[in-house]
């Protein structure tokens, strides 16, 4: 399978076989992390990391990935570049993308909720870079999707229900498992990217999916429709509910995370404080031990950073059935695999 030069903006746009190629290689790279077999795949090559938004795991994991593959990850910010915007003169995306393509082996872009004037603007920007670039463009999280996180999630869940870390990924262990993606009470006004990827990738690999949220907090209709279609194609079920406890019943994977409402933007402005104040009116939407007791001994998952005490209690997040650190570690391994397959 040849993935060289392929963009990764959303997992839904890759075939299941292509996603499995990433997961298979990621598992091998995790088992033989510092093997010479992989240490020179990106020798003398540079990966540009273009951050509109800051991060913890994303920058660290991509820099480690590039280093362990023998390459270099270069940090870029818009404020350090003279780029054209709606209100300022500067270089167009066409020109920037074509020049970047002459320098680097790949380009990653991270652009989230507070750096765009409306939902979907980040997706439009990353796709415009992908259109003009002759190198692969990787989403490092944007306002719609977070493909690297979705792959790390799936890898972590499959390890928990399979033989564990170090073994080949067997996605069949997730078939028929129930994934609950539930809105979490919180004060961070977060984008939809991570939860939407969880819906898409869980449904692609044969899980029953439940999406739970208060009234007024539904997600992108296109993503919901894709999730419904994925479930139907696998003979699985999809359900959306506004009941806080219902989705926990019989669940095997619980993903509790806060996300903003569809009314988060107005006249080109992200209404962060308004979103925070609105969200804090739903303290019952927290993942706690009482709700987890309704599950089928479920694991708790989260892409981090966690808003502890709002999205989930410490008892659950730091409990014996929490896979948060495994999933965070897997960001490194799936990103190494993505970079190797698309850039080496």
CATH architecture of 11-145+329-343: 3-Layer(aba) Sandwich (3.40)
Taking CB atoms within 8 Å and a gap of at least 24, the contacts of 57-66 are 57/304, 57/328, 57/331, 58/110, 58/140, 58/141, 58/148, 58/331, 61/331, 61/332, 61/335, 62/108, 62/140, 62/335, 64/332, 65/332, 65/335, 65/336, 65/339, 66/42, 66/339
The CA distances from residue 162 to 57, 157, 235, in Å, are 25, 8, 22
Fold of the domain built from segment(s) 150-325: Rossmann fold (3.40.50)
Give the pLDDT confidence score for residue 87 in this predicted structure.
65
For residue 82, with 0-12 CB atoms within 10 Å meaning exposed, 13-18 middle and 19 or more buried, which class applies?
exposed
Q: What is this structure's pTM?
A: 0.97
- pLDDT tens per residue, range 269-305: 999 999 999 999 999 999 999 999 999 999 999 999 9
The CA distances from residue 264 to 49, 85, 184, 217, 255, in Å, are 27, 22, 16, 10, 22
Q: 59, 49 in Cβ contact below 8 A?
A: yes
Start and end residues for every CATH 3.40.50.1370 domain found in the chain: 11-145+329-343, 150-325
Q: pLDDT per position in the chain (344 positions), as tens?
A: 899 999 999 999 999 999 999 999 999 999 999 999 999 999 999 999 999 998 889 999 999 999 999 999 999 998 888 786 766 778 999 999 999 999 999 999 999 999 999 999 999 999 999 999 999 999 999 999 999 999 999 999 999 999 999 899 999 999 999 999 999 998 889 999 999 999 999 999 999 999 999 999 999 999 999 999 999 999 999 999 999 999 999 999 999 999 999 999 999 999 999 999 999 999 999 999 999 999 999 999 999 999 999 999 999 999 999 999 999 999 999 999 999 999 99
Give the pLDDT confidence score for residue 289 in this predicted structure.
98
Rounded to whole angstroms, how far apart are CA atoms 52 and 42?
25
């Amino acid at each position: 399978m040849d993935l060289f030069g392929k963009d990764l903006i959303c997992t839904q746009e890759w075939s299941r076989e292509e996603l499995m190629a990433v997961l298979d290689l990621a598992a091998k790279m995790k088992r033989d992390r510092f093997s010479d077999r992989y240490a020179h795949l990106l020798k003398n090559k540079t990966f540009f990391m273009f951050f509109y938004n800051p991060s913890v795991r994303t920058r660290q994991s991509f820099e480690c990935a590039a280093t362990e593959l023998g390459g270099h990850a270069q940090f870029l910010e818009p404020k350090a570049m003279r780029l054209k915007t709606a209100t300022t003169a500067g270089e167009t995306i066409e020109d920037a993308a074509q020049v970047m393509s002459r320098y680097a082996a790949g380009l990653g872009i991270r652009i989230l909720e507070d750096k765009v004037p409306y939902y979907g603007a980040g997706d439009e920007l990353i796709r415009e870079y992908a259109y003009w670039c002759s190198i692969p463009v990787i989403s490092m999280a944007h306002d719609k999707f977070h493909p690297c996180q979705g792959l790390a999630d799936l890898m972590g869940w499959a390890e928990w229900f399979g033989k564990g870390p170090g073994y080949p990924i067997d996605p069949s262990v997730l078939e028929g498992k129930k994934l609950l993606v539930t809105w979490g009470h919180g004060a961070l006004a977060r984008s939809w990217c991570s939860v939407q990827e969880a819906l898409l990738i869980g449904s692609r690999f044969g899980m029953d999916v439940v999406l739970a949220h208060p009234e007024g907090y539904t997600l992108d209709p296109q993503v919901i429709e894709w999730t419904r279609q994925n479930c139907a194609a696998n003979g699985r079920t999809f359900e959306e509910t506004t009941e806080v406890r219902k989705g926990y019943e019989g669940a095997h994977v619980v993903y509790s995370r806060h996300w903003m409402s569809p009314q988060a933007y107005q006249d080109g402005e992200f209404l962060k404080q308004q979103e925070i104040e609105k969200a804090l009116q739903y303290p019952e939407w927290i993942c706690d031990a009482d709700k987890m007791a309704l599950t089928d001994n479920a694991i708790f998952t989260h892409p981090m950073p966690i808003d502890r005490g709002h999205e989930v209690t410490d008892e659950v997040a730091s409990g014996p059935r929490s896979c948060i650190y495994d999933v965070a570690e897997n960001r490194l391994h799936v990103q190494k695999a993505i970079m190797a397959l698309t850039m080496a």
